[in-house]
Structure 1
Amino acid sequence: MLSRVYISLGSNIEPERYLKSGLSDLSYHFGKLLLSSVYESEAVGFKGCNFLNMVVGVDTDLSIGELVSLFKKIEQDNGRLVGAKKFAPRTLDLDLLLYGDKVTLDPVELPRAEILTNAFVLWPMAELAPDLTHPSVNISYQTLWDEYDKNQQRLWPIPFVWAPALADEASTLNSL
């Protein structure tokens, strides 16, 4: 049975390049992607270049553990160093935010706590799935965003173009 999952993508090292690469990899594995806008924000937790962030929705029959392993592989394939500090610059960060309406701590915390605390996750979630209800607090993502203190983090949408047809061809060529 397919489950709808939501994934956050972020990068602050050649961010446009790595977001596009991450999207191509996700498209290769899942087919059709539901995409939020891309948002630029200041680094959180450390001094560094601004991040580009977005949220992607996909339907999958992979387990939570299989998804987490796949995301780690995609990150590493895109230059992410194994064991790098949490609050540090990165080429690509993929985090599983939601797996259907599952609430769990194993193998990862779901729903991911940063949905409620980080504007760069909540705003794209509200854009992509405004009427979806957060499974722990039972409030829609749009309402959560409307009530979020927007003075906590500076965040703004940016123009971003990703061509999935070309990306699909590139992914196919890269896998040969």
Structure 2
Amino acid sequence: MKLLLLLFLIPVLKVSELNQPLYSSISNDTIMGKQASYCYMKDTRITTIIRNVNNVDTSEHVYFDNGEVVSWARFVARPIKFTQEELHSVFRKNLTDSEWDCIKGKVGFFLQIWVVADKKGNPVELEFTVRNTDPVFLKMTPDRLFQIEQELKQLLKTEIAEDEHDIKNVKHIVMVSYQDLK
């Protein structure tokens, strides 16, 4: 009888531990906050895209001002104006100790940040991709995510080459591997 009761209580206690909703279970739905709203979309079997609904440039393509598509070969290695330590510190500052402990050193987990920058290299839009089982970012409220997004926009600047000034929006990807977090 005690074993039966224990088997019943463990799942109940585990569910109560997850007091925030897991937004990855919501496919293509918008979660609204006071400062921003985010759309959570299943990207693949293992990833979810988290996009601010105010983002305008959601295409994967990069265009010249005349409308022609820019070759991806030009964006293989973008010069950046920040360090990985600065990037990690934004997350360390904005996550609780338990959230930080939950993701640091986690093998196979990541946060991919899709950055859309203006002609000066300043980020104007960010989009996040995480694993469908991400223990932190899929539970984060839209307002907390918005706060992180605003701080990242101040940090994730890129160099714009002379021959790139005729590109409408420069795009690049920034990866954060949870395994590298300390």
TM normalised by structure 2 equals 0.28
The structure that has the greater radius of gyration is 2
